[in-house]
Structure 1
Amino acid sequence: MPSFARLMMLLSVAVLGACGERVDGVHVTLGLEHRAAHGVEASSGGRTLTRADGQTLTLTRGYVTLGSVELKPCEEALGWRLLRALSPIGTAHAHSAGSPLKLGTPHVSGLERPDGNVLTLGTLRPAPGRYCRARLTFEPADADAEGLPSADSGVDMEGRTLWLEGTRVPAGGGEPLPFRLVTSNIATVEVVLDGLTLSEDAPSAERVFVLAWDTWLASVDLEALEAQEAAASVLDTVARSVAMSSVTP
């Protein structure tokens, strides 16, 4: 028993020493892209899709604000936590005011960016370990958000989370009917990360999230709902459309 107690004491001292002296080493670069989930192609004149109910919708302009991305560690056994703390490539975040797991710079992502074009969100420097999920929060942009539309664009995303403009042609045909959906609501979603493990042997990784734009308006009733209610519904769909991409930033 004394030898076990001595071992635990030595491990505790080593962990505390590692906490104070560890240097930056591991990092994860995050990106965001738009891509149609069902093979719909985007053109320079807009993004058009035909819904199951026969309506044809064209998105002529669209912006969404991703406020933050936070990595969620997997559940860990005590042994792995001790090894992670003792790792020579650890991060120096233990006494930092910021969070090494959360990327908090808001980014406004516009549909004028071609499908598959990756927007780099930034780099996180978490501790070595396994990370199973990422929490994405869509929220209103502030004045310091990256990618705000230009002042002459006619779109003011400051204080807004979603801005979509386009036209809708009823199932029976007819003239295109314009719509505009704008909301300052907040929507959060968690997505499963595909095998994100950071270690001494694999200190870096890249992950890209994809927004499936062709699902955003697939089911919302633009005729029955008020514009504000419809916009809130679409934002929830935007959050649910997030998936992991196979490309890297």
Structure 2
Amino acid sequence: MSRKFIVLAALAALAAAATPAGAATPESGQGATSIGIVVGGVLGAVVGGPPGAIAGMTLGGIATERELEARRNGELEAETANLARERDRLAAERSGLQARVTELDRHLEHERRLAAARPDVSELADGLAFSVGFRTDSAEPPATADDSLAALALLIAAVPGLEVRLDGYADPRGADEHNLALSEARAAAIRDRLVAAGIPASRIRLAGHGATADGEVMTDPDGWALQRRVEIRLERDEERVVARP
């Protein structure tokens, strides 16, 4: 057998054993090793006959394995470098988040100290009172009371620990039953104005008391105008204060 024929056989074996380009499989390393062994064996046979073929096959397999191992090592090193970069990025991101949490904790503690130092508005406003007068035998609040009721609604909305107590009264003229109903209607009219201004009805308590029993005022016609009124009083609701966040 001529050496030229053997070389052609080696090239044919190489072409037959090669896998298509881009078709990587789990057995691609084994196929490359087989190619190395065949080529090494054929070239060894060309150089040194059968002993050379055996030596060539051995060396060809070893060389191919080393090349594949070097390639795998390179891929692993590249992957390791990518993972190291990702680890560093995550570590930097974590440090940034921890710094943000620390900053937010500091601001929260500052706000808590400020809140603890502020006076309780509900406690300061507890007991404040004013009255709205009414015309004779009328349960319609005067238009002059609208601004005061609107301001009261703003205060109640801003201070959850407060509620409103409304006490309606009438002057002594008229029957007791009529005066009681009139005083209740006056208190209800003020309540409706406050609800329309934004105060929840659940934070308003009302009662009608009929004619007052203020002794001398009862017999003084000039004092009757003072009796036709609704007393508006702010009261601290302990349950609301405790439940406030």
TM-score, normalised relative to structure 1? 0.21
More strand by share: 1
**Higher-RCO chain (CA-CA 8 Å, sequence separation at least 6):** 1
TM-score, normalised relative to structure 2? 0.21
